[in-house]
Structure 1
Amino acid sequence: MKKKVCDAWVPKRNQKGGEKGFFFVPSLQELCLEMLADNADAMVSLEGVPDELIRKLCNLLCDSRKMNTRFLELLLSGSPTEIRLKDCSWLTEEQFAKYFQTCDTTRLEVLQLDQCGRCIPDYALLGTLRQSPRWLPKLITLSLSGACRLSDKGLHVLASSAPALRSINLSQCSLLSSASINILADSLGSLLKELYLDDCLMIDAAQIVPGLKKLKHLEVLSLAGIQTVSDEFIKDYIIECGHNMKELILKDCRKLTDASIKGVAEHCPGLCALDLMNLDKLTDLSLGYLTNSCRALHTLKLCRNPFRLATTQPYHLLGMQKICIF
C-alpha cells in the first residue's frame, strides 16, 4: 500500500489567501526600506531624508544586527534633530567617545541610546560632555534604557547638560539610587513630564516621594518591576500629585492591593492609560473603582490578574479603546 506523504505544515498566516482570503502585501516604502537596510554599507549620505524614514531604517538595522559605526557616522553628520538607536550593545566606549565628541548636537531634540551599558560608563560620558558644557541645549526626549554603568553622578551631568528635557527613560539603569530623583527634581522640576524607572532595583519608592513631588508637571510615571512600590507609596504620592497624571505604569509592583487602585481612581481624574499587569493581590473591587471614577481612561492592561472576565464588561460603556486582559 502506498504511504501517503503529508504536506509540510505551514503557519496559517503564511498560507495562500491568509485569514479571510487575504494575505499581507508590504508597501512600496517597506520594500524600499528593507532594500536600503540590506545595502546600508553602500549609503553615502542621509541628507534630506525625513526623520521618520531614518527612524524606521535604524529600527530595521538594529533588529537585523546590521547597525555599525559607518551608519552611525551618517546619522551624526551635519546637525541632526533625532538620533534613535534602540540597541547600542555593539558600540564600544572608544567608538562612543570618538563619534559623539565631534557631533554637532545643538539642534538635537531626541536622543535614544538604549542598551548602552557597554559604551556609556560615567567616565566616558563625562569625557564626552567635558568637550561641550551645554552638549544638549535643545534635547526634549532622552532614552538610556539599559545603561547599567550610569550612576547618580553621571545622571547629574546629563541633567545639567540638557536644560530643556521633558522626557527621560532610565529603565534598567541598575546603579541609580533614590538620589537620582532629587537630581532630576533639582535640575528639571518645572519641566519634566515623563519619567520611566522600570526595573531600577536600587531605587526605594518610599525615598523618592519627596523628589517626585517636586516634579510639578509630571504626566507619565513608570515604576514597573520596582518591588518597593506599595499602597503607602500610592497614598503618599498619588493623593497629592495624581491630578496631573495621564499615564501610570505599575506592572509587576506586586505589593499593591485594591486600596492603591482606589486611590488612583479617586485622585487621577485625567488618567488615560493604566498598566496593572501581574498584580495578583487585586480583586474585582479595583475594576469597580476604575469604572466609577476614571472616565478619561482609554487603555487598561490587566494581564495575569485574578479578575473575572464578566466584570470588565462595564468598560465598553466608557468607550475604552484598548483592554488587555490575558
Structure 2
Amino acid sequence: MSRRKTQTEESAPLIDAELEIPSLTASHSSSESLFSSMSDDEGRDLINTLPPELIMKIMSFLDVVSLCRCAQVSKAWYSLALDGSNWQRVDLFNFQRDVTDEVVEGLAHRCRGFLRVLNLDGCRSVETHSIVRLAKSCNLIQELILKGCVKVTDRALKYIANNCPNLQLLDLSEGPVVTDRGCAYLSKGVQTLHHLYLAWCTSITTIGLRSICSSCRELRSLNLKGCDQLDADALKSIGMHCPRLQRLNLAHCSFVVDSSVTAIANGCHALEYLCLSQCGSITGHSLKSLGLNCPELRTLEVAECSFLADEGFIFLSEHCPKLTHMDLEECELITDETLRAFSTNCPSLQQLSLSYCHSITDSGIARLAHPSSATGSLRVLELDNCPQITDDSVSTFMDMPSLERVELYDCIQISRDTVTRLQEERPQLIVHIYFPPTILPEAGVPPRRRRCRCCNCVVL
C-alpha cells in the first residue's frame, strides 16, 4: 500500500498537468450524478464499503473524461482512478487541441506497462521527445495512432522500434517528416506489425517501402494513399513479401499501372479491400488480374479510373462473387452491361456508386431492381450526375425493399413530383437530391439598362 502511495505522489505533478486540460475539467454534471448514485439515504459513501479490487473493476469501464473527474473527488479516488490498470486504452482524439508533450509524458509516466492502445490522432502539438518517453515507458503498447502528428520524426520511430516489440498497429498518416530512415527502423524492430498506415507520408520512397515489406511479412493492412514518391517497383515488393495482406489503399498514387496491380494480385490472394481511386493509368487488365487471383475481394474502389470499361467489370463480377462495395464514380466508359453483370453475379452487393457514369440508363437500374436479380441486398446506390437517369428509375426504387439511401444530385431528368411520391411510399428511404429554386421574371418589368464605363453608351 505504501508503495502505491509513493508512486502516486511521485507522478502527481504530471497528472495534475494533464487534469488541466480544459475539455476534461469543464463539466462535472455526469460525475455528480455518478457520485450521488453511490450514496445511501443517510449520505454515506457506499463505494468505500467495497473492496479496492471491485472498485478498480468498476472504474475500468470508465472513459478518460470520467476517470479524470473521479480523480478530483478525494485522495482515495485520485489514487484509484489514476491507477495505470484503468488506462489501458486512451483515446485523446476529442481533445487534440489541448494535448501537449506534457500530457503525453504524464500518460507515459502513469500508464507504463499497462497501456495497450493510444490514439493521438490530430494532436499536432505533440513532438518527438514525448513519443520517445512514451516508447520507453509503455513498452507493451499494441496500437499507436500518430495520424496528423506533424512534428514526430524518424527519431521517435527508432525508439518505438527498439522498445515496443508487441506493436501491431501503427498509424503515421499525414506525417511529412517521416522518411525512409524511419521505415528502416521499423523494419528491424517491429516485425510483427499487422496494420501500417502511411497515407500522405510524402517523404517515403521505394527504398523505405521495400525495407518494411521485406521484414514485416505479417502485414494485414497497408495504407499508401498519396505517397507519390513511390514507383511501380515498390508495389511489386508488396506482392512478393506480403502474402497475408487483406487491405490495401493506393488512392492518388499516379504511378500505379497494370503491371503493379498484377504483381499485387499474384502475391496477395487474401486481399479483401483494394482502393485504386485516382489511379488513372490502369485498364481492364488490372481487373482481370484481380478476378483471377483474389477470390476474397469484397470492396473495390476505382473512382476516376477512366480507362476501365464493361469487359473488365464483367470478368471481375464472374470471378469475385463476394463483392459487397463498389465505387465506380467517373468510370465513364461503363454502360448498363456492367449493371447486368452485377445483377447476375454479385449476390452480396450492398453499396454501389455510379456517380458521373454518363452512359448508365434506366434500363440498367431496372435490371438491378428485377425480382430475379442477385443484387437484392443493395442498400446504397449513388447516381449523382447521371444525365440519362429519369423518373422511371425513381419509380423502380419502390421495388427495391433493401435500399436505404439513394444519391440523385444533378440528375436533370428527375422531377420533384416523382421524388415526393417515392418518399411517401418509402418514408424510411433516404433520398439526397437538390432542386434549384425557380424564379420567374416579373411581368412588365423592362430589363435594366447598363452603361459602358469607357464611352458612357447604353448597353442593351
TM-score range for the pair, normalised by the shorter chain length: 0.7 to 0.9
**Residue number in structure 2 paired with 1:117:** 150
Question: How many pairs are equivalent?
Answer: 283
Q: Deviation at 1:153?
A: 1.6
> Which of 66, 80, 87 is equivalent to 2:98?
66
> Which of 81, 85, 92 is equivalent to 2:116?
81
Query: What is the CA–CA distance in structure 1 between the aligned matches of 2:307 and 2:117, rounded to whole Å?
Result: 42
Q: Deviation at 1:305?
A: 2.5
1:150 equivalenced with 2:178 (yes/no):
yes
Structural mapping, 1:206-245, within 5 Å: 206-210=233-237, 212-238=239-265, 240-245=266-271
**Residue number in structure 1 paired with 2:320:** 294
1:277 equivalenced with 2:310 (yes/no):
no
**Structure 1 residues 81, 288: CA separation in 2 closer, same or farther (over 3 Å shift)?**
same
1:137 equivalenced with 2:165 (yes/no):
yes
**Residue number in structure 2 paired with 1:14:** none
**Structure 1 residues 309, 70: CA separation in 2 closer, same or farther (over 3 Å shift)?**
farther
Structure 2 residues not aligned, in runs of 5+: 1-29, 35-61, 73-77, 356-460
Structural mapping, 1:242-281, within 5 Å: 242-281=268-307
The letter for the 2-side match of 1:198 is K
**Structure 1 residues 164, 237: CA separation in 2 closer, same or farther (over 3 Å shift)?**
closer
The letter for the 1-side match of 2:116 is T
Q: Deviation at 1:314?
A: 5.0
**Structure 1 residues 309, 209: CA separation in 2 closer, same or farther (over 3 Å shift)?**
same
> Which of 162, 165, 169 is equivalent to 2:193?
165
Q: Deviation at 1:124?
A: 4.8
The letter for the 2-side match of 1:88 is C
**Structure 1 residues 50, 288: CA separation in 2 closer, same or farther (over 3 Å shift)?**
farther
**Structure 1 residues 166, 102: CA separation in 2 closer, same or farther (over 3 Å shift)?**
closer
**Structure 1 residues 68, 46: CA separation in 2 closer, same or farther (over 3 Å shift)?**
farther
Aligned partners of 1:46 and 1:75 also within 8 Å:
no
1:199 equivalenced with 2:226 (yes/no):
yes
Aligned partners of 1:206 and 1:229 also within 8 Å:
no
**Structure 1 residues 235, 202: CA separation in 2 closer, same or farther (over 3 Å shift)?**
same
Query: What is the CA–CA distance in structure 2 between the aligned matches of 1:124 and 1:34, rounded to whole Å?
Result: 27
Structure 1 residues not aligned, in runs of 5+: 1-27
Q: Deviation at 1:215?
A: 2.0
Aligned partners of 2:171 and 2:196 also within 8 Å:
yes
When structure 1 is superposed on structure 2, of 264-273 and 69-78 the one drifting more is: 69-78
Query: What is the CA–CA distance in structure 2 between the aligned matches of 1:153 and 1:253, rounded to whole Å?
Result: 27
Query: What is the CA–CA distance in structure 2 between the aligned matches of 1:216 and 1:84, rounded to whole Å?
Result: 28
Identity value in percent:
20
Q: Deviations over 1:53-74 (max 9, x none)?
A: x43xx23223xx3333454345
Q: Deviations over 1:189-234 (max 9, x none)?
A: 3x22222111111100234414531223222222111111011222
Q: Deviation at 1:304?
A: 3.0
Structural mapping, 1:306-321, within 5 Å: 306=332, 307-308=334-335, 311-312=338-339, 314-315=341-342, 317-321=346-350
The letter for the 2-side match of 1:247 is Y
The letter for the 2-side match of 1:301 is D
Aligned partners of 1:75 and 1:83 also within 8 Å:
no
Query: What is the CA–CA distance in structure 2 between the aligned matches of 1:304 and 1:235, rounded to whole Å?
Result: 23
**Structure 1 residues 273, 217: CA separation in 2 closer, same or farther (over 3 Å shift)?**
same
**Residue number in structure 2 paired with 1:36:** 65
When structure 1 is superposed on structure 2, of 210-219 and 147-156 the one drifting more is: 210-219
The letter for the 2-side match of 1:108 is I
Aligned partners of 1:167 and 1:195 also within 8 Å:
yes
Query: What is the CA–CA distance in structure 2 between the aligned matches of 1:115 and 1:122, rounded to whole Å?
Result: 15
When structure 1 is superposed on structure 2, of 275-284 and 204-213 the one drifting more is: 204-213
Q: Deviations over 1:288-312 (max 9, x none)?
A: 2232111111122222332447843
- Larger relative contact order (Cα-Cα within 8 Å, sequence gap ≥ 6): 1
1:90 equivalenced with 2:125 (yes/no):
yes
Larger Rg: 2
1:322 equivalenced with 2:357 (yes/no):
no
Query: What is the CA–CA distance in structure 1 between the aligned matches of 2:125 and 2:340, rounded to whole Å?
Result: 47
Query: What is the CA–CA distance in structure 2 between the aligned matches of 1:256 and 1:138, rounded to whole Å?
Result: 38
**Structure 1 residues 50, 312: CA separation in 2 closer, same or farther (over 3 Å shift)?**
farther
Aligned partners of 2:250 and 2:276 also within 8 Å:
yes
Query: What is the CA–CA distance in structure 2 between the aligned matches of 1:136 and 1:34, rounded to whole Å?
Result: 24
SS of equivalent to 1:312: helix
The letter for the 1-side match of 2:354 is I
Aligned partners of 1:148 and 1:175 also within 8 Å:
yes
SS of equivalent to 1:281: coil
> Which of 116, 120, 138 is equivalent to 1:104?
138
Q: TM-score w.r.t. structure 2 length?
A: 0.54
Query: What is the CA–CA distance in structure 2 between the aligned matches of 1:50 and 1:123, rounded to whole Å?
Result: 26
**Structure 1 residues 216, 242: CA separation in 2 closer, same or farther (over 3 Å shift)?**
closer
Q: Deviation at 1:114?
A: 0.8
Query: What is the CA–CA distance in structure 2 between the aligned matches of 1:74 and 1:199, rounded to whole Å?
Result: 34
